[in-house]
Structure 1
């Protein structure tokens, strides 16, 4: 293990001092901090979907409009203007999305060009309620009492398995966690592959193997680059959480945010070790940097597919059965499970299955990758076929 650590130390010093590593780390931190600030600014400015003006004669429609919009999952704020002329001027300037005019018994609206469909839906709901109330009055009833009774009427639902309630901020955290894992695996995996080919093409590997064994060289390289990547992920994730909590854009409990970062790091480590071993093994098959892309593409596709499926399905369907199953498969778990954990609602047994799967796969990859690496890393020239590398003595 001392030999492994010597190789790892060499990788850590070389990678950590590189300008590319420092710049990429700073850029990632700046991006996540900027996202937190922008999220806070957008949340503070755009608190409603639409702003509608009301005149003194239509002020009575302000509350019904907000209630109608809420019933169809829209947020409409109202602002009273001094008179219709001022309201029309604000609509013209874009300060108001629409202006309610008339005597308040019917819905008449002024817009700059076209009425937005979503705002129109809210207005149509309110118009229906006003017409309903007028009919009740004409029949001698009390519209307020009828509307209250209708509003209080609810469907009683009994769930055999109560669904998990996803918070919008948890969804965002899950997506960000998936992006960080995805980028880190691609960047550090490529670093491992390029490092192997660089040593092989420059014949440095022959000198190194005179002092250490092949498996020690491969393990040291994976360990060193893994530590460098771990620092980058931990710093970026921690900076994002601190910025979110400090600006107030992240309102979930600090313990939940910290848990997300911890699981982000855990899954980065598990995913990196598994993929880095595979990257190191297949990179040993070639002797030129130009050929690296061809041999690492299959592993990269597994990372990309897992990320794309997760980022495409989870935001709209967090409880997707397909994602549940795939997130427990070792090839997809490093990119999918961090997203699900950040969103919450992952059963403990599913998390245990995913971790256990990685714990089983990693030792197997150590043995398989070490054999391929040992048999191929000293063979220069043409690309070594995988079967030849496996069968070589």
Structure 2
């Protein structure tokens, strides 16, 4: 183990001092902090989607318009103008998106050129509500009582299993966690592969293997680069969560935010060890940097596939059965499970299955990768086939 640690120290010092590592870490920290600040600025601006002017005669439509817009997911603010002429001037200048005119018994609107589709939907709902109220009045009823009764009507739903509710911040946090894991595995894994080929092509590996065993060299590289990536992950994740909590962009409980960071680190470590071992074994079969891409691409596709599936499916369907199943498989768990954990609602048994699968797979990968690495790392020239690397003495 002392030999493994010596190799690990060498990797840590070499990578931590590199400009690429320092710059990438600073850039990632700046990005996540900037995202937190922008989220606060955009989310806390309080601006409405549209601003509609009303005159004294149409002021009675102000509250119903806001309610109608809210019912279809829009936000409309109303401004009272002194008269119709002033309102038309404000529409023309762009201060108002539209102006309600007439006597308030019908919905008539003035716009600069075209009526925005979303605003038009809100106004159509309003027109229907106005016509409905007038029909009630003509029949001798009270529109307020009828509207109250309609608003109070609801469907009674009985769930056999208690559903988990997801809020927007949980979804965003989950996607950010997936992106960080994806980038870390992508960058760190390729660093392992490039480091192996660099030593092999420069014949440094022959000197190293005269003093230590192949598995010790491979393990040292994985441990060293894993620690470097771990520090980067903690710095980036911690900076993002801290910025989010300090700016108020994150309103979820602090314990939930810290839990996300902890699980992010756990899944990074599990995922990195598993993928780094496979990257090291694959890279040992080639002798040129130009050939690295060809041997690591199949492995990268698993990382990319998990990430793409997560960011494309989870925002629209957080409880997707497909993602739930894939997140428990070792090849997809490092990218998908952190997203689901950040969103919340993951049953304990699924976490146990996912972590347990990684714990079982990693020792098997150690044995497999160590054998391939040992048999291929000293063979230069043409690419070594996996079958030959496995069978070599």
Query: Any runs of at least 4 consecutive aligned residues in structure 1 with deviations exceeding 4 A, and if so which?
Result: none
Provide the rounded CA distance (Å) in 1 between the counterparts of 2:210 and 2:333.
Answer: 38
Match of 2:213 in 1: 213
Match of 1:131 in 2: 131
Structure 1, residues 317-363: CA drift from partner, whole Å, max 9, x if none? 11111000001111011111111111111111111111111111111
Range with greater deviation from structure 2 (130-139 or 13-22):
130-139
Question: Post-superposition shift, 1:46?
Answer: 5.2
Match of 2:57 in 1: 57
Range with greater deviation from structure 2 (326-335 or 110-119):
110-119
TM-score (norm 1): 0.98
Match of 2:322 in 1: 322
Provide the rounded CA distance (Å) in 1 between the counterparts of 2:301 and 2:19.
Answer: 28
Question: Post-superposition shift, 1:168?
Answer: 0.2
Question: Post-superposition shift, 1:255?
Answer: 1.0
Provide the rounded CA distance (Å) in 1 between the counterparts of 2:336 and 2:269.
Answer: 14
Structure 1, residues 287-338: CA drift from partner, whole Å, max 9, x if none? 0000000000000000001100110000011111100000111101111111
Match of 2:31 in 1: 31
- 2:114 is aligned with 1:114: yes
Alignment of 1:45-194 (within 5 A): 45=45, 47-194=47-194
Match of 1:390 in 2: 390
Q: Say what the alpha-carbon RMSD is for the aligned residues.
A: 1.1
TM-score (norm 2): 0.98
Question: Post-superposition shift, 1:83?
Answer: 2.5
SS at match of 2:77: strand
Provide the rounded CA distance (Å) in 1 between the counterparts of 2:68 and 2:279.
Answer: 57
Match of 2:252 in 1: 252
Provide the rounded CA distance (Å) in 1 between the counterparts of 2:223 and 2:88.
Answer: 67
Question: Post-superposition shift, 1:71?
Answer: 1.6
Long gaps (5+) in structure 2: none
- 2:288 is aligned with 1:282: no
Match of 2:268 in 1: 268
Provide the rounded CA distance (Å) in 2 between the counterparts of 1:318 and 1:111.
Answer: 40
Match of 1:349 in 2: 349
Structure 1, residues 61-81: CA drift from partner, whole Å, max 9, x if none? 111111111222222222222
Provide the rounded CA distance (Å) in 1 between the counterparts of 2:148 and 2:65.
Answer: 16
Range with greater deviation from structure 2 (72-81 or 134-143):
72-81
Provide the rounded CA distance (Å) in 2 between the counterparts of 1:387 and 1:123.
Answer: 69
Structure 1, residues 255-276: CA drift from partner, whole Å, max 9, x if none? 1111111111111111100000
SS at match of 2:51: strand
Provide the rounded CA distance (Å) in 2 between the counterparts of 1:338 and 1:155.
Answer: 35
Provide the rounded CA distance (Å) in 1 between the counterparts of 2:84 and 2:258.
Answer: 52
Question: Post-superposition shift, 1:210?
Answer: 1.1
Structure 1, residues 223-254: CA drift from partner, whole Å, max 9, x if none? 00011011111100111111111111111111
Provide the rounded CA distance (Å) in 2 between the counterparts of 1:216 and 1:360.
Answer: 21
Long gaps (5+) in structure 1: none
Question: Post-superposition shift, 1:160?
Answer: 1.0
Provide the rounded CA distance (Å) in 1 between the counterparts of 2:83 and 2:262.
Answer: 57
SS at match of 1:79: strand
Structure 1, residues 22-45: CA drift from partner, whole Å, max 9, x if none? 000000001111111111111133
Structure 1, residues 84-138: CA drift from partner, whole Å, max 9, x if none? 2332233223332222122222111122222222221111111111111111111
Provide the rounded CA distance (Å) in 1 between the counterparts of 2:44 and 2:173.
Answer: 19
